[in-house]
Amino acid sequence: MDESNKSESDSEEFFDALSEQLDMTPFEMDLRTSLEEAKLAIDYFFDNKFEEARTLLKPFSGSSLYHSMGTATFSFLEAMLTFEHIDEASAELKKCVELCQRFRKKNTLTEAIGNTFKKKNFNSLTDLECHAELCMAEVLLMSALLTFIEDENLSGLIRGSLRVRQCYNCFRFCAQIMKHRKWDSSSMTVRNHFSSGVHMGIGTFNLMMSMLPVRIVKILQFIGFSSNRGTRRTDCGKYFVLYPCSVTI
């Protein structure tokens, strides 16, 4: 009887140990697949299959850049169109920012100081790190807009303006990556999506700037921002036709 109990106990311990190993978050998804699934989610969205789009993105929203950004984007659009669930949208955007921070290139103090005195080596960035910068810029843009709507007080305007500034710096860095980084021939699809995202993002950023209320525009113009609505709208449309995955922004 004791041997039987011991055997059962050993089996339970083995099962518990095995369960701990198997009870993991979904496996890590590669960048190409995440881009393909993000594009599929966009197709679902424009076909009014909103639940299918959310279901596709949700399992990997905590580990994949574009799944996380897609989930945050859908929450953002819902909040903007209905003026409801704003807190939920803010939470999703915050999660996406944290994920982008995890995948962005980490510089040591020595590297950070060195970059201020010498030319940056953009070729040292991986494909994933490049797209992390792009996703960061796009999410900050949505976060800034949501902040302006969520809080119309002075504190909200200041927080939103700071996020606009962060967004601008991220897009500027992405433009430098696109100009100076040499992409492998095997990464051209990833590069094309990155390029379309940068152009679409910069166009959307400037279009947003031209459509903000006067009191917000005055604050932003004070720190050096300006835009041309017609030019940026054309820019957005051109790159959406080329690479529709960029519509996630």
Tens of pLDDT, residue by residue over 225-236, are 655 544 444 444
pLDDT, position 15? 39
- DSSP secondary structure letter of residue 27: P
pLDDT, position 2? 52
How far is 20 from 84, CA to CA, in rounded Å?
Answer: 38
How far is 98 from 109, CA to CA, in rounded Å?
Answer: 21
pLDDT, position 226? 57
Question: For residues 121 and 114, is the Cβ–Cβ distance under 8 A?
Answer: no
pLDDT, position 232? 47
**Tens digits of residue pLDDT in 110-156:** 666 666 667 788 999 999 999 999 999 999 999 998 988 887 777 78
User: Structural domain boundaries of the chain?
Assistant: 29-248
Which is more confidently placed, 162 or 138?
Answer: 138
